[in-house]
Amino acid sequence: MTFNCIIAGVGGQGTVLASKLIAAAAMKKGFDARTTETIGMAQRGGSVFGHIRIGDNIFSPLVPLGKADAIIAFEPSEAVRQLPYLSKNGIVISCGGAVQPAGTGGAYEVSVMMDCLKSNAPRLVIINGAKLKDQNPKTLNVCLLGAAAQSGIFPFDADTLKDILIETLPVRYHDINIKAFESGRSLIPGK
Q: What is the DSSP string of 9-27?
A: EETTS-HHHHHHHHHHHHH
Residues 125/184/73/53 CA torsion (nearest 10 deg): -100
Residues 116/1/54/46 CA torsion (nearest 10 deg): -10
Q: For domain 2-186, which architecture applies?
A: 3-Layer(aba) Sandwich (3.40)
Tens place of pLDDT per residue across the chain (191 aa): 899 999 998 877 888 899 999 999 999 999 999 999 876 555 566 788 999 999 988 888 999 999 999 999 988 999 999 999 999 999 999 988 766 555 555 567 888 999 999 999 999 999 875 565 566 777 888 999 999 999 999 999 999 999 999 999 999 999 999 999 998 898 887 65
Residue 7, number of CB atoms within 10 A of its CB: 32
Supply φ then ψ for residue 116, to 5 degrees: -65, -45
Contact 123, 188 (CB under 8 A): no
- CA nearest to 71, candidates 109, 123, 130, 28: 123
